[in-house]
């Protein structure tokens, strides 16, 4: 019998413009389910939840640290499980390199400190899981389809939707700013990078006359998470809902408040994350900064020796970058890490959908997907065969549709794991 270990993350973002209600309850219910139904030992479950001082805060660094521990040294027969309830970023983190081919989005989850964890991070984690061991991930968040990149889509249309979006973007002569894509030129982007590098305490020589650059930002009023999945009267027991999608303008405002940098815009999110979090930033963010620093050095706008000696830049310069293209938004991690064949993702919705955060009339809050999973599991007869991953997602979809929700959960895994029992 192999070991069973889990990491459960619930983030309600209290006191922020992105506040949710049901994420901590999701985690508490899943924790009881793992112990009572699936035989997990209490000591094998790590919980990170905001507004709960008994657990470590669910910061980006803490979540990555726990996930690294989860995939460190598992053996054949071990069961690894990760449940996330919180925000996904809408529509994802946009392109920022300024290259014509960089037109995608990085799908992300949003830790309590806004230190984003990207789909590529999950792909690289799951790729470390050895054969004979399975990593199951439930992401009750918006735009969560495909968070483990390059894993086969068994149920859903996110892959088809992504291809359609890519074809549409490829046909555009200029990325639409309304979608959050950076429209600045390469030279303008380098000025942004230059400012970010200088803010790290690295002196850059002045080459010619410097002109002020106004960064591209999205304004026009702060968006909220008030969008509902359906009319409240159509959802079971007049339950009220909000979205677990954090709009990009709202994220930028929260990032400005978090970092104290009021010049943060669409074209400088990654450099801001690196400046604020350094070594604790996403590996893809650090690789992005390394590529941008390389451009500054190539153009003679940054002294190479000074860059090498900069402690502030060390976290980026130490990264292994195999190609410029791998730092593009939406770039797959498969070439770097290998195909993540030992992972199962159950997503709350498709990449172009939102997941609901629901509250009943008597004040009980939960994520719609998390509640559906618990309902399906609770309805299984004792002694009956456990629902397979496919059966669980199909039944959850049917239940959510009956309750009036429009979100459609997805399943991403190999053909073999499609037929295995949930949390086998």
User: Catalytic amino acids?
Assistant: 87, 142
State the maximum Cα–Cα separation within the chain, in Å, rounded to a whole number. Answer: 77
The full length of the chain comes to 424
**∠ CA 245-49-68 to the nearest 5 degrees?**
90
Strands 134-140 and 79-85: parallel
Dist. CA 107–CA 122, nearest whole Å: 10
Q: What is the rounded CA–CA span in Å between residue 295 and residue 380?
A: 58
Residue (of 22, 165, 123) closest to 339 by Cα position: 123
Query: Helices 269-277 & 283-298, crossing angle to 10 degrees?
Result: 110
What is the C-alpha separation between 16 and 19, in angstroms, rounded?
Answer: 5
Structure tokens given for 285: 């963010």
| Cis peptide, bond prior to residue 91, ω within 30 of zero | yes
Which residues make Cβ contacts (< 8 Å) with residue 226, sequence separation at least 6?
242, 243
* Cα–Cα dist 215/241, whole Å: 35
Provide the token pair at 343. 């992972």
Please state, as a whole number, how many other Cβ atoms lie within 10 Å of the Cβ of residue 43. 7
């Amino acid at each position: 019998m192999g070991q069973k270990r889990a990491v459960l993350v619930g983030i309600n973002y209290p006191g922020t413009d992105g506040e949710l209600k049901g994420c901590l309850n999701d985690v508490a219910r899943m924790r009881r389910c793992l112990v009572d139904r699936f035989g997990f030992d209490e000591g094998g479950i790590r919980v990170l939840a905001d507004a709960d001082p008994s657990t470590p805060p669910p910061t980006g660094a803490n979540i990555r640290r726990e996930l690294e521990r989860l995939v460190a040294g598992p053996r054949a027969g071990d069961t690894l499980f990760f449940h996330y309830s919180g925000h996904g970023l809408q529509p994802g983190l946009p392109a920022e390199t300024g290259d014509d081919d960089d037109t995608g989005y990085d799908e992300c989850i949003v830790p309590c400190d806004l230190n984003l964890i990207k789909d590529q991070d999950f792909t690289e984690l799951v790729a470390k899981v050895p054969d004979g061991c399975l990593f199951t991930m439930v992401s009750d968040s918006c735009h969560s389809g495909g968070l483990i990149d390059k894993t086969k889509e068994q149920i859903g249309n996110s892959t088809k939707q992504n291809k359609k979006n890519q074809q549409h973007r490829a046909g555009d002569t200029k990325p639409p700013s309304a979608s959050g894509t950076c429209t600045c030129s390469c030279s303008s982007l380098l000025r942004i990078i230059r400012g970010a590098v200088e803010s790290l305490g690295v002196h850059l020589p002045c080459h010619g006359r410097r002109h002020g650059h106004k960064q591209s930002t999205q304004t026009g009023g702060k968006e909220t998470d008030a969008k509902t999945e359906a009319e409240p009267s159509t959802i079971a027991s007049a339950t009220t809902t909000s979205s677990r999608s954090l709009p990009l303008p709202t994220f930028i405002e929260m990032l400005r408040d978090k970092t104290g940098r009021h010049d943060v815009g669409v074209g400088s999110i990654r450099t801001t994350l690196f400046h604020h979090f350094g070594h604790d930033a996403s590996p893809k963010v650090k690789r992005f900064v390394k590529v941008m620093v390389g451009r500054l050095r190539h153009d003679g706008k940054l002294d190479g020796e000074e860059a090498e000696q900069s402690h502030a830049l060390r976290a980026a310069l130490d990264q292994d970058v195999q190609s410029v293209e791998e730092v593009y938004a939406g770039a797959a991690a498969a070439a770097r890490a290998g195909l993540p064949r030992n992972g199962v993702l159950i997503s709350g919705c498709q990449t172009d959908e939102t997941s609901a955060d629901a509250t009943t009339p008597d004040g009980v809050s939960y994520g719609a997907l998390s509640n559906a999973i618990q309902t399906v599991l609770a309805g299984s007869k004792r002694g009956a065969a456990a629902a397979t991953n496919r059966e669980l997602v199909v039944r959850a979809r049917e239940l959510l549709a009956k309750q009036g929700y429009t979100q459609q959960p997805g399943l991403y895994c190999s053909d073999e794991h499609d037929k295995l029992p949930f949390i086998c």
